[in-house]
Amino acid sequence: MRRTARLLIGLAALASLGACNIQQSVDDANAAISAFHADLDAGRIDAIWSEASPEMQAATGKAQLTALLSAVHRKLGRVQQSEQRAWNSNVTTAGSFVVVQMATTFEKGTGMETFTYRKDDDDQLALVGYNIQSNAMMLN
């Protein structure tokens, strides 16, 4: 019985360490999103591009990302508020990923943004994907 109790305590400790690591990843992603929004508001799209993962750079050319983010900024304006609505953490053979969905209020409308980050071996996050759903962007 004591052996089982020790095993269960050990497993609980491992689970709590994993939960802390996941929470840290989500916190890191939220900080990266704040930096993304600051760069977007300041027109530093080159900084967003240079900090994106090689996978994102290969999948989305610099001109395409620049056009998308320029349109977001031109049509919606500066970020006023951004609130986390959902998150997911997933570990695959391709790496460790954090997906965060943000309800963002801009000067000229709202949008639901989805950020996907991959965590490298040094626990650094790199943007793998960005998506925005915004009726206001389509109408402005």
Q: Which stretches of the chain are assigned E, i.e. beta strand?
A: 79-92, 95-106, 109-119, 125-133
Neighbour tally for 118: CB within 10 Å: 20
Q: What is the reported pLDDT for 5?
A: 45
Q: Are strands 79-92 and 125-133 parallel, antiparallel or unpaired?
A: unpaired
Break the chain into its structural domains and give their ranges. Answer: 25-139
Q: What is the reported pLDDT for 86?
A: 95
Terminal-residue alpha carbon distance, the chain = 67
Amino acid code (one letter) for 110: T
CB 83 within 8 A of CB 99: no
Alpha carbon separation from 6 to 13, 15, 16, 17, 20 (Å, rounded): 11, 14, 15, 17, 21
The phi, psi pair for 111, rounded to 5°, reads -160, 155
CB 90 within 8 A of CB 97: yes
Top CATH class, 25-139? alpha beta
Q: What is the reported pLDDT for 25?
A: 78
> What is the chain's pLDDT, residue by residue, as a tens digit (140 residues)?
555 544 434 433 333 334 447 788 788 899 999 999 999 999 999 999 999 999 999 999 999 999 999 999 999 999 999 999 999 999 888 889 999 999 999 999 999 999 999 998 788 899 999 999 999 998 88
Q: Is 29 exposed, middle or buried (0-12, 13-18, 19+ CB in 10 A)?
A: buried
Record the pTM: 0.82
Q: What is the reported pLDDT for 1?
A: 53
